Amino acid sequence: MRTPVDLAAARPGPAFTVTLDGREIEAFPGQTVAAALWAAGVTSWRTTRVEGRPRGIFCGIGVCFDCLVTVNDRPNQRACLVPARPGDAIRTQDGTGHDD
Amino acid sequence: MTERPHLAVIGAGPAGLAATVAAAARGVRVTLIDSAAEAGGQFYRQPAAALRARRPQALHHQWRTWERLRDALAGQVESGRVMHLTDHHAWLVERQSGRFTVHALLGPEQEEPAVVHADATVLATGGYEKVLPFPGWTLPGVVTAGGAQAMLKGALAVSGPTAVVAGTGPLLLPVATGLAAAGVKVAALVESADPRDFVRRTRALAAQPGKVGEGARYAARLLRHRVRTLVRHTVVEAHGTGRIEAVTVAALDGAGRVRPGTERRIPCDTLAVGHGMLPHTDLAETLGCRLDGPGVDVDGDQRTDVPGVWAAGETTGIGGAALALAEGHIAGCSAAARLNGAAPDPHAWAAAAKSRNGLREFFAALDPVYAPPAHWAEQVTDDTVVCRCEEVTGGAIREAVADLGAGDLRTVKLLTRAGMGWCQGRVCGPAVAGLAGCGETPGRRPFARPVPLGVLARAGEPKPSDAAQ
Ligand SMILES: Cc1cc2nc3c(=O)[nH]c(=O)nc-3n(C[C@H](O)[C@H](O)[C@H](O)COP(=O)(O)OP(=O)(O)OC[C@H]3O[C@@H](n4cnc5c(N)ncnc54)[C@H](O)[C@@H]3O)c2cc1C
Ligand code: FES
């Protein structure tokens, strides 16, 4: 199958590893956390405060705050904006993202 | 330090770039402020530099125009006339004794503050998408049409191999063809507008042969990628548990109601959906600029009614990249003339004004054609979440109106919490207004971004580390 990476002839630097809840995932320089998760087949990384429903990307540009995720112990980061960095510990988050 | 007048341009999309380049070419010092890591805005959103895309133009239209803008910006940055501040989210522009202070937050975390001072400002913050709710629209894999496009252009990412593109508006065409070109199987393009309505507006169409050609090129691409187009159809529900697995679409009757018995199910892992665009007006509103409908009101020079404030591009009304370019150019020329102490001479930008006026007419004619189905609210069941942040359902909003007598958006919000979450009602505003049967009033958000309290407390104090003086 053709991919967007083929279409744009992208040749990012070598892949690095991040973790999602401890599981190793491959990411490339230039990818946001959301892009790395999508590439790993993950489309949801948060559950909502009231009903515990899964959420992931919605607006893709930082407006809707649906894509909140915990990165290196900082909760409520927007996965569509935050670049993935080598060794990032990404964690799915429930509710407010704080332990309450 | 030079005593050149200083213009702050907010937004590095087509409008902001055109304004920056025009003003800098006329001797004005410009600080270009944008929340993204690269210039380009929505239309010319670039893949992140580290992805090292050697063929980014494959994701784009009108690439040569982009090259011209990009190179002109680079030249002005090199000459020191333009400072381009990336990753700066402006949350407030203040006007005091005729000068301006732009308050911004840095980086994706948006916690560190920065401040820019200027003699005048051009607001070119563009627009955002309107998406109306339907059962299942909060499932992962349901994304906004522009969001699908932004993830594709900026991150070279797609959320699955099979997509449905749905809703209404000209944006659906580049989204469907873009995804298809990137290897996604687009199972259907579902548009609620009626093509016969375009024909009734042939005069405005005939005046824009370029736009007609654009439409024909998209149609050819859809055909080439074998994308099935369903017009006068709408998505009635997205299905799935942990993520979207299928959508049900149905035909609409002449009055904009779902025709019973026409429902069919289309399997997919992505639904890219949008119902048009709305202008970003937060910064303009806190400056006290008058609005004209949903957008910022401007005169022929792109000036707002607040002295020293110009506005250009989709913040003044939705009309696409070519219109944004023309408006930006005019704003840059006009602002430069004023800052240089001269009366602006409209003859100097007659070509841009002609193009602007024609495109505005064209989009004014299109606007009523691309309308969401008249009875979209009937699809919103009582248990459909309408406010995604606060998880307020359609039932709760109806109850606030019917039983508690809420007659305006503010009261509905106070009673239900709809619009009080992280996104400050940007996503649910139009839907709540529609369900409650009250007018869509401008958002009246105090700030264009959520601001950490520490930053707010310090905002009044001048700091030596200001980004630009
Ligand atoms: C998500 C999305 C995707 C789109 N994709 C396409 C497409 O593929 N094809 C198409 O024809 N049209 C597309 N559009 C329509 C698009 O808006 C216009 O084509 C065109 O980009 C408008 O130009 P503009 O300069 O007015 O605004 P924009 O291009 O939207 O530029 C505005 C810029 O301002 C910045 N900004 C906004 N608020 C702030 C702030 N408070 N602080 C700092 N910076 C800020 C934004 O980051 C952005 O870079 C899309 C729209 C959206 C919302
Ligand atoms: S997807 Fe909307 S903020 Fe990230």
Tens digit of each residue's pLDDT (9 = 90 or more) over B359-381: 999 888 888 888 899 899 999 99
Interface test with A, best of B35, B43, B52 (most A CBs within 10 A): B52
What residues of chain B lie within 8 A of the CB of A39, using their CB? 157
List the structure tokens of B48: 């992140």
Task: Give the total number of structural domains in chain A.
Answer: 1
What is the model's pLDDT at position B326? 98
Q: Is the CB of A68 under 6 A from ligand 2?
A: no
- Predicted ipTM of the assembly: 0.96
Mean per-residue pLDDT of chain B: 91
CB contact under 8 A, B388 and A81: no
Would A71 be classed as within a structural domain? yes
Domain that holds residue A30: 13-94
What is the model's pLDDT at position B369? 85
Distance from CA of A12 to the nearest CA of B (A): 4
Kindly give the interhelix angle for B172-181 and B209-224, rounded to the nearest 10 degrees.
40
Residue B289: exposed, middle, or buried by beta-carbon count in 10 A (0-12, 13-18, 19+)? buried
* CA closest to B150 among chain A residues: A60
Q: Domain holding A58: CATH number?
A: 3.10.20.440
What is the model's pLDDT at position B438? 76
Q: Which domains does chain B have, with CATH numbers?
A: 6-128+278-344 (3.50.50.60), 131-275 (3.50.50.60), 380-440+447-469 (1.10.10.1100)
Would A99 be classed as within a structural domain? no
Would A58 be classed as within a structural domain? yes
Model confidence over B47-92: pLDDT tens digits? 999 999 999 999 998 999 999 999 999 999 999 999 999 999 999 9
3-class DSSP assignment, residue B94? strand
User: Which B-chain residues 54-113 have CB contacts (< 8 A) with chain A?
Assistant: 54-56, 58-59, 108-109
Whether pLDDT at B146 is above 90 = yes
CB contact under 8 A, B156 and A5: yes
User: Which A-chain residues 56-95 have CB contacts (< 8 A) with chain B?
Assistant: 56-66, 68, 74, 77-78, 80-83
Whether pLDDT at B469 is above 50 = no
Residue indicated by tokens 């649906």: A66
What is the model's pLDDT at position B1? 43
Would A6 be classed as within a structural domain? no
Distance from CA of A35 to the nearest CA of B (A): 6
Whether pLDDT at B284 is above 90 = yes
Confidence band (pLDDT; 50, 70, 90) for B464? very low
Output the CA–CA distances (angstroms, integers) from residue B48 to B53, B152, B406, in the order listed. Answer: 8, 11, 46
What is the model's pLDDT at position B467? 44
Residue A18: exposed, middle, or buried by beta-carbon count in 10 A (0-12, 13-18, 19+)? buried
Q: How far is the CA of B42 from the centre of ligand 1 (A)?
A: 3
Would A77 be classed as within a structural domain? yes
Would A48 be classed as within a structural domain? yes
Whether pLDDT at B254 is above 50 = yes
Distance from CA of A65 to the nearest CA of B (A): 6
Whether pLDDT at B466 is above 60 = no
Model confidence over A37-87: pLDDT tens digits? 999 999 999 999 999 999 999 999 999 999 999 999 999 999 999 999 999
The answer to pTM > 0.90 is yes
